[in-house]
Structure formats: C-alpha cells, structure tokens
C-alpha cells in the first residue's frame, strides 16, 4: 500500500457515519495485531476461510437489520390506511430466509393478530409450503402493503407507494435469493407491469438480481380451485430453484 509512494492516508479514512459495530471490530483487530507484534510475530497468514468469515462479519455489521426497518416504520401514518387499521402487519419468519413470500395486504384476521397470512388464505399457504417441504419458520412472509385496506378492497397506488420503501428495506435486510410474489398485485408491483398473473406466472423473472417467481394468490386459489394445478407447477419451480441455491 504505502510502498507505491502514494499517500494512502488521504483516502484511508473512515466515513463519519461508520456503524459502531464495525469500529468495534476494527478496534479489536488492531489490539490483536499489536499484541501479536509485541510477541515478536511479524507475519500473519490468513486462510480463505478466515478471510471469508471476516468479510461476513463486516457485511453483517454493516447491513440493515430488520428490526431497524421496523423501528423506522414506527406507528406509521404515511397513508390513509392508518386510520382504519388495528395493527400494522410488518412480516414474520426467518430474518435470514433464502426465500421470501410477498402477498398483497393484510385481511381481517391479519389486522387483528398483527401477523401475515393467518386466516383461510394463510392456511392454504401453509399447505403449499408443506407440499415443497418448507416450514413457515424457514421462510419470511410479508405483504406489499402493511395495513388492512377497509373491507379488503385492493390497495391503492398512493398506499402502495407509501409502503414501498419499507418493503425494499425489508428485502435489503433479509437478502433473499428467491422472492415468490403471491398474486396479481404483488407480481405487478415488483415487475412494474399491468400484464395478467396468468401470463406472468410459470417463469422466473428477476427483481434487483433476485429470482422472482410469481404464482396465484392463495385467496384466489380458494375461489378458483381448478387453478391449483398451475400453482403446484409454480411451487415445484420454487422447490427446484431453492434446492439449487442450497447446493443440493
């Protein structure tokens, strides 16, 4: 670094807003190196594994945490849905999930319990997950809009826009490898299209580098059970991709 003659100190400065965790890690590393120097150790050898775990620790400390996103959302009043909701339904499941399922908006049961997909549609979603050997605790489940629209009407554009940054940050925190968009609204919102779900499902799309697999919404499947056959194909596609990323 310094041997090239350039003044590395000019650019080797820490940003002022560096997270405290990272500063702590750097501090510990410095102390450790000074200790080794005092023992007379002049060279250290880092294995690939050590380097990787160091990188992982740094990136974890630097990354957005889901609980920070929840705190930022607070007692949200950014759109009119706050006036009629009972509870904000932020999301539930594994914060490190490789796969995230995204629905439309909470319904009556979800609004009462503050949890996503706990009503009839949720029961069907559980069966769909079980069919491909996934448990709810293994995945993360949330919605495009976090408050129940009155009478379960469709969420409106301004409501989707108000909630959008929080969904984005949830996904940034979880860093899933696969997103399953449940139903028309979720799929159209991610893909910024008005194409119908029947045309969009059945293939793998990409959303910010993440595989996006659309399928029918479980509530739609309850009303149109003959569509379950196609939904089953989509679930099998999810299973195949999930196994790929887990190296099976």
Strands 140-143 and 99-103: parallel
Q: Which residues pair with 178 in a beta bridge?
A: 99, 211
CB closer to ligand URA out of 179 and 219: 219
Closest CB to ligand URA: residue number? 103
Give the H/E segment covering residue 232: helix 228-245
Give the CA radius of gyration of the chain.
Answer: 23
Residue 56 or 130: the one with the smaller Cβ distance to ligand URA is 130
Taken as a whole, the chain contains a residue count of: 248
Q: Report the first-to-last Cα separation within the chain, whole angstroms.
A: 42
Least gap, CB of 229 to ligand URA (angstroms): 21
Applying CB under 6 A, which residues contact ligand URA?
103-107, 110, 116-117, 121, 143, 219
Q: What is the nearest approach in angstroms of ligand URA to the Cβ of residue 200? A: 17
55: burial class by Cβ within 10 Å (0-12, 13-18, 19+)? Answer: exposed
- Cβ proximity to ligand URA: between 103 and 176 the closer is 103
Smallest distance from the beta carbon of 103 to ligand URA, in angstroms? 3
What are the φ and ψ backbone dihedral angles of 99, each rounded to 5 degrees? -135, 135
Q: How far is the CB of 110 from ligand URA (least distance, A)?
A: 4
Please, which residue, 180 or 219, has the CB nearer to ligand URA?
Answer: 219
């Amino acid at each position: 670094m310094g041997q090239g003659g350039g003044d590395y100190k000019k650019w080797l400065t820490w940003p002022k807003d560096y997270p405290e965790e990272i500063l702590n890690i750097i501090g510990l590393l410095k102390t450790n190196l000074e200790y080794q120097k005092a023992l007379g150790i002049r060279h250290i050898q880092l294995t690939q594994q050590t380097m990787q775990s160091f990188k992982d620790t740094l990136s974890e400390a630097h990354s957005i945490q889901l609980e920070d996103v929840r705190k930022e959302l607070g007692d949200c009043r950014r759109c009119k849905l706050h006036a009629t909701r009972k509870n904000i339904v932020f999301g539930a499941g594994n914060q490190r999930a490789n796969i995230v399922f995204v629905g439309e908006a909470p319904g009556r049961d979800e609004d009462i319990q503050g949890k996503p997909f706990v009503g009839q549609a949720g029961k069907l979603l559980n069966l769909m997950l079980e069919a491909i050997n996934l448990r709810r605790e293994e995945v993360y489940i949330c919605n495009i809009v976090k408050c129940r629209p009155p009478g379960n009407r469709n969420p409106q554009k301004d409501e989707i826009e108000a909630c959008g940054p929080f969904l984005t940050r949830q996904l940034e925190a979880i860093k899933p490898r696969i997103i399953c968009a449940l139903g028309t609204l979720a799929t159209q919102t991610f893909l910024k299209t008005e194409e119908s779900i029947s045309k969009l499902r059945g293939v793998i799309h990409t959303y910010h580098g993440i595989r996006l697999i659309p399928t029918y919404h479980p509530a739609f499947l309850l009303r149109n059970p003959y569509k379950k056959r196609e939904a089953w194909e989509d679930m099998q596609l999810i299973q195949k991709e999930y196994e790929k990323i887990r190296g099976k």
